[in-house]
Chains A and B, each alone.
Chain A
Amino acid sequence: MSDAESRPSFTLDGVEVPFDPGQTVLQAALAAGQYIPHLCYHPEFKPHGSCKVCTVRTGGHAATSCTTPARAGMVVESETEEVVAERRMLVQLLFVEGNHFCPSCEKSGHCKLQAVAYDLGMTSPRFDHFFPDRPVDASHPEILLDFNRCILCELCVRASAEVDGKQVFALAGRGMGKHLVVNSASGLLRDSAVAATDKAVDVCPVGVILRKRVGFAVPVGQRRFDERPISAQASDYAPRPAPPRDP
């Protein structure tokens, strides 16, 4: 018996997906080249399951696929009309609570929120937006923070704590008042321990954490998700070990 045959597996929309013990449904699917939409998951970090965009159906229940452990013989439904409609609505909710203006955003074409929204067929904002008042932090000489686009995925929080060993970012407030904060007494990025080379600066899926003076190096129209939809890039999100922690 070959190695591949001996691995346990589940089915995702009828397709057999093998998995390694300890993997979650989303991790196994992506490793097998099967795409499930997601935003707060990142292949180098432990999943925490807050955005809920990766919700699937299994065993008659809805489940967050990034945190649900894979089990042999599971029957997972992902691309059903019901599930896709629910995901589209979740993404619309993320647009409702922030200020997302794609045409003027430096991240357009590199932005996962935008890519997932296109992929899910979101053609309009649909709901009345909240238009929150969120100031920008331009205090740091090399890095800009535009909180307007934050989707509270906590990837920068996790990257800064787990990879950079700095804990530059954290969350404060609760409910609709929840927001990203910087670990410095002034609250400004300038006074934090952040460096432009930090993993936390790289990991933002949207346009909150931006390096200054390198904007539009790749013209809009030739960017990652301009070329191919995010759903065609599943294997790029397959689990991989986190980069080594800074000494």
Chain B
Amino acid sequence: MEAMNDLTPDLEQRARRVVTRWGHEPTRLLQILREVQEDFGYVPERAIPLIARYLRVPYSRVKGVASFYSFLVIGPQGEYRVLFADNVTDRMAGSERLLDALCKRLWAEPGKVSEDGLVSVGRTSCTGLCDQGPGLLVNGRAIGRLDDERVERIGELILARVPLADWPPEFFRIEDNVRRADLLLGHGLAPGDAIRAALRRGATGWSEHAANERSWREAYVGTAQGPVAVLEEIKRSNLRGRGGAGFTTGVKWEACRHATGLARYVVCNADEGEPGTFKDRVLLSSHADLVFDGMTVAAYAIGATQGYLYLRGEYRYLLESLERTLARRREAKLLGNGICGQPGFDFDVEIHVGAGSYVCGEESALIESLEGKRGVPRNRPPYPVTNGYLQQPTIVNNVETLCAAALIAVHGGDGYRSLGTLKSSGTKILSVAGDVARPGLYEYPFGVTIRQVLEDCGARNTQAVQISGPSGICIDSTEFDRRIAFEDLPTAGAFTVFDASRDMFEVARNYAHFFAHESCGFCTPCRVGTSMLVAAMDKIHAGNGTQHELREIGRLNKVLMMSAHCGLGHTACNPILDTLKRFRPAYERKLRSLDFTPSFDLDGALARARQMTGRDDEAAHLEASR
């Protein structure tokens, strides 16, 4: 197979074409690898030294980047690469059973390329289709609403080698599922409205804030008062970041505006990787103009001329429509030079697509990835507002934050602040999924109770809600009067509901696997600690866990909290500790009464032999009980 692909006569030509398209720029290495993979179905081993040569970077740098992102594969793959989404909501909807069914249909083994080179079937992290799961990606294209029939049909299509373009279009249809719209989802604005409002604000802002006039004039010459007026509105709104951390947007923008550098950059973080979150998918599919309006308003406020939208690889299918939106906006003078006829207001946006890496949602890792490197979080300080993309002042904002900024440009800071609570102004979009009658997007002013959301989405018999995904918090039914707000339950948007039939231990175990899979491996505690958490949880799952494992988990948590390099490691234990605290019996009924059991499992050691002989009968096991 490899020899065959080595003979691909036009490999050199095709690789060079991609590299040329990206201007021979090493900062575009990830984009180049991604497009080479789209062209060949994988990254050919032989393309690596070629790309290295064309870009004049070491071979090992290309290899290092190609092997960091889970969607990139070096060497031949199946013609069809099927990746089942492995979020807990997909599992609850039967993804594992469907994966088995597809594997049987295709004579494939999970995680391996079938012997005829036709297909590989594996798992991937949440693909953002939790409201219409179970989901999968086939050669990067998203398919939702899987059931037995659809999986059977997919098996047939693959066996008949039908090209993806000829698959039934309804397979690829993704619904928005907006269930409750408020200020943002019901904005009713036309493309550019927010930019024009921002430009107008310049003139009125000047007189409204006359008290500050002198200082502005001293700090900024010429027509700079417009941007400052917009910045003032953002600050006045008390908008806080919607990506989870909740940093005050106005403070971030102002710090960037005041930082010195050769250029400033606006980066839209559309790397929506937190399991259970899918709001950005809808914002980018149906409100892309508002997102770009927000980026342009931000560029105006901080004085940036270039923006980047970092789109998660799972949303690759949105790229063409987003590019069309950008082209339309350039035509309409909403991007490019002299935006809305304002001389000197120059700004454009380039889209970069990720390739399967949760940690790239962390802003400094995202910037590394934008620079075509491995997505490893940087040491901070310095922060991106002073040393971001290419070490220049950069703001990185969530998709929803930028939409909110566009709304603030239109409605004003006070108008926006009139919604929500004292410390959490405006609205928040929740991605509701799990055991509910009506999964989808629910937008509420901050301050809504959990109980209200559960009622609206038709949740019954609810045992627990995971707020803001595995890095957030898991609450039980005694806490449903708590509120979505920075003062109480801050969230990036995920709202995953579990009814009384769910085993909360298994929920936590799924999340533990997620963190280990997504750890970048930079720092010792996270690289090794997340894998040890998985080992402990799997041991309990297998019925070999004891109190010893629970104590070890507590110790691992301490070391992760204390010394991990970024938020992934700091929060990796949260789902386990939260569920241990609230649903301890779910753990204890799996434990052995002994204080310690060695992890070596004699019967488990025979698993390989059983697999090879295709046996799983009683006599193939050491203990009849197993």
Contacts and interface: CB of A to CB of B under 8 A. Distances in A.
Interface residues of A, number: 39
Interface string A171-199: 11111111001111100000000000000
B64 A170 contact: yes
Contact of B516 (A69, A170, A175, A181): A175
B565 A50 contact: yes
Interface stretch (B55-63, B389-397, B432-440, B462-470): B55-63
Interface stretch (A91-99, A213-221, A226-234): A91-99
Contact of A172 (B49, B63, B518, B529): B63
A48 B67 contact: no
Contacts of A122: none
B122 interface: no
B64 to A, nearest CB: 5
Contact of A173 (B67, B523, B529, B532): B67
A86 B558 contact: yes
A42 to B, nearest CB: 16
B379 A94 contact: no
Nearest to A92: B528
Interface string A145-174: 000000110000000000000010111111
Interface string B360-380: 000000000000001000010
**Which residue among B381, B523, B524, B552 has the maximum number of chain A CB atoms within 10 Å of its CB?**
B524
A171 to B, nearest CB: 6
Main SS at interface, chain B: helix
B510 interface: no
A170 B489 CA distance: 42
B530 to A, nearest CB: 7
A193 B98 CA distance: 50
Interface stretch (A25-33, A51-59, A239-247): A51-59
Interface residues of B, number: 42
A49 B376 CA distance: 12
A174 B521 contact: yes
Given A52-B565, A62-B563, A176 B527 contact: yes
B179 interface: no
B532 A175 contact: no
A52 B524 CA distance: 7
B519 A93 contact: no
Nearest to A171: B64
A76 to B, nearest CB: 15
Contact of B599 (A64, A94, A128, A185): A128
Nearest to B558: A86
A114 interface: no
A78 interface: no
Contact of A176 (B66, B516, B522, B562): B516
A173 B521 contact: yes
Given A67-B379, A130-B531, A175-B531, A181 B519 contact: no
Given A89-B555, A184-B59, A174 B524 contact: no
A101 interface: no
Q: List the 10 closest pairs (A to B, CB-CB), nearest first.
A: A170-B60, A178-B521, A183-B60, A93-B528, A52-B563, A175-B519, A172-B67, A167-B58, A62-B562, A55-B563
